[in-house]
Amino acid sequence: MKKLLSGLAASVMLVATSAAMAQNTAPLKLGAVLDMSGLFADITGPGSETAAKMAVEDFGGEVLGRKVQIVVADHLNKSDLAANFTREMFDNQGVEAIVDVAGSATALAAAEMARTRGKIIMFNGPGAVRLTNEACGPYIVHYTYDTYALASVTGLATVKRGLNSWFFLTADYAFGQELERDTSNVVTKAGGKVVGNVKHPINTSDFSSFLLQAQSTKASVIGLANAGGDTINAIKQAAEFGLTQSGQKLSPLLAFISDIDSVGLETAQGLLLAEAFYWDLNDETRAFAKRFMERTKRAPTSAQAGVYSSVTTYLNAVKKAGTTDSAAVMKVMKDTPINDMFAKNGRIREDGRMVHDMYLFEVKKPSESKARWDDYKLLATVSGDDAFQPLSASRCPLIKK
C-alpha cells in the first residue's frame, strides 16, 4: 500500500511539474484592441499592430523562455465590442496585457474589464484624462498623451501669441468634451476667453453649418476638439470656406501626422498642434521611422510610436520581474525610468500617467517641405511636469491626499 501511495504521489508530482513546464513555455500573449478600418485606423490600426510586432522582434521574440505573440481585435469604435474583446482576451485567450484601444469611450469600457480582472492595460490611442482620474486603476497606464497635455501645450501657446478668443467645434463624446473643457480652462487662466461652442456627432461628413456658426463669432481661434476623420474633414471644409483667410486661426487640438498628410500642406500650413512624438525629431526617431516606413509606407504616428515603446517597457519589466504577475510587473514599470526613441526619462506615476516631454509644432508651408511626411517645425519642447496634470490635482482614488 505504501508503495502504491508513493507511486501515486510521484505521478501527481510529475503531472503537476509537467503542467507547470507547459504553462511556463506557452506563448506570452499581448492584446492589441484597435480601430482597424474606421475613424482612427490611420492613427492606430494596422500601424499599431506593426509597431507592436516590431517591439517584440527587437526584444528578441521571447521573454522568460516564452515566445511573445500579438493578438489583435478590431473594436469598430463600439464600446461594447471593446469590452467584450478585452474580457475574451483576458478570460479565454490567455492574454497577459493589452495595448492601444483607440477611442476614449472604447478605452473606458476596456479599462473596466482590465480593472476587474487585475490585468495590465496600456493606452496609446485615447486621450480621456478620466483614465488616470476617476477611471484609474492599479494596472492601468495612460502612455502617449491626454486632453490635459494637449490643452496645456496648444491653449497656452496660442494665447501667448495674442490669439485670446476661442470658439470650439467639439465631437460629442467623452474625448471631445474633455478636450474642450481642459483647453477652455487653460485659455481662461491665461487671460483669454471662450466665446462659444457647437457639438457635432462622431463621423460627421458635413461641417458647413458648424463652421458658419464658428465664423460668425469672429473668434480669433476655432479649436477643433475632435479627432481622426472628423478633424480631417473639418480642416478641409474650413479651407473651402476661406475661414482662415478672414483672419481666424484654426487649431486642431488633436492632430496626428497622418491627418496632416491626408489634408495636405497647402491646406494645413500654419496650423499649430501638440504632439507626443515626431518621426524627424532626432537620430533615434528617424531610425525607428525608417524601419516602420519600410513596412507600412507611412510615417509612424505618436500613438503608434507609443505602442512600440509601451510593449518594450512591458517586456523589459516582465524580464526584470521574472514573472507575468501584474503587481510585480507594474511595480517594475513604475520604478524604472523609460528611455527609448519615444521618451527620455519618462516615468509612470502612481495614477498610471506616463509623464514625458510634449512638443508644440507648426505645420510647414509646401515650400518648406523637402519630402512627404516632412510636415512639422518644432516651436517648443514642454516638459512632462508642465504638460500633464499635476499629481496634486488628480482625482484618482489610488492617490492619497
Residues 240 and 366 in one domain: yes
**Contact in structure between 336 and 317 (CB atoms under 8 Å):** yes
pLDDT band at 86 (very low <50, low <70, confident <90, very high): very high
Residues 153 and 271 in one domain: yes
Sign for the CA dihedral angle at 136, 392, 172, 226 comes to negative
pLDDT value of position 16: 42
pLDDT value of position 109: 96
Tell me if 22 is assigned to some domain: no
pLDDT band at 15 (very low <50, low <70, confident <90, very high): very low
pLDDT band at 400 (very low <50, low <70, confident <90, very high): confident
Residues 73 and 169 in one domain: no
pLDDT band at 301 (very low <50, low <70, confident <90, very high): very high
Instruction: List C-alpha distances in Å: 294 to 39, 194, 297, 309.
Output: 24, 44, 6, 19
> pLDDT tens for residues 108-144?
999 999 999 999 999 999 999 999 999 999 999 999 9
Residues 264 and 220 in one domain: yes
Q: List the grid coordinates of 53.
A: 510586432
Quote the crossing angle between the two packed helices 147-160 and 174-189, to the nearest 10°: 40
3-state helix, strand, coil in the chain (%, to 5): 50, 20, 35
Residues 57 and 138 in one domain: yes
- Tell me the C-alpha distance between 280 and 270, whole Å: 18
Residues 62 and 90 in one domain: yes
Tell me if 72 is assigned to some domain: yes
Angle CA 8–10–14, to nearest 5:
115
Tell me if 32 is assigned to some domain: yes
Residue 320 CA, distance from chain mean position: 25
Residues 253 and 207 in one domain: yes
Tell me if 296 is assigned to some domain: yes
pLDDT value of position 369: 98
Residues 126 and 180 in one domain: no
Q: Which residue has the higher pLDDT, 52 or 162?
A: 52
The mean per-residue pLDDT over the stretch 293-311 comes to: 98
- Tell me the C-alpha distance between 324 and 116, whole Å: 17
- HEC string of 202-258? CCCCCCHHHHHHHHHCCCCEEEEECCHHHHHHHHHHHHHCCCHHHCCEEEECCCCHH
pLDDT value of position 23: 54
Residues 216 and 124 in one domain: no
Domain count, the chain: 2
Tell me if 196 is assigned to some domain: yes
The mean per-residue pLDDT over the stretch 157-169 comes to: 91
How much of the chain exceeds pLDDT 90, in percent?
A: 81
The mean per-residue pLDDT over the stretch 201-230 comes to: 92
Threshold 0.75, pTM exceeds: yes
- Tell me the C-alpha distance between 331 and 69, whole Å: 23
First to last CA, the chain: 63
The mean per-residue pLDDT over the stretch 263-275 comes to: 92
Helix (H) or strand (E) holding 145: none
The mean per-residue pLDDT over the stretch 69-74 comes to: 97
Residues 308 and 320 in one domain: yes
| Amino acid identity, position 179 | L
Tell me if 396 is assigned to some domain: no
**Contact in structure between 155 and 187 (CB atoms under 8 Å):** yes
When the pLDDT of each residue in the chain is averaged and rounded to a whole number, the result is: 92
Residue 248 belongs to a domain with what CATH number? 3.40.50.2300
pLDDT value of position 401: 62
Tell me if 101 is assigned to some domain: yes
Q: List the grid coordinates of 236.
A: 478641409
| Range(s) of the domain holding residue 93 | 28-145+281-357
Residues 96 and 228 in one domain: no
Q: List the grid coordinates of 202.
A: 462622431
pLDDT value of position 22: 45
Residues 219 and 253 in one domain: yes
Tell me if 17 is assigned to some domain: no
How much of the chain exceeds pLDDT 70, in percent?
A: 94
Looking at the predicted structure, is the pLDDT value of residue 219 above 80? yes
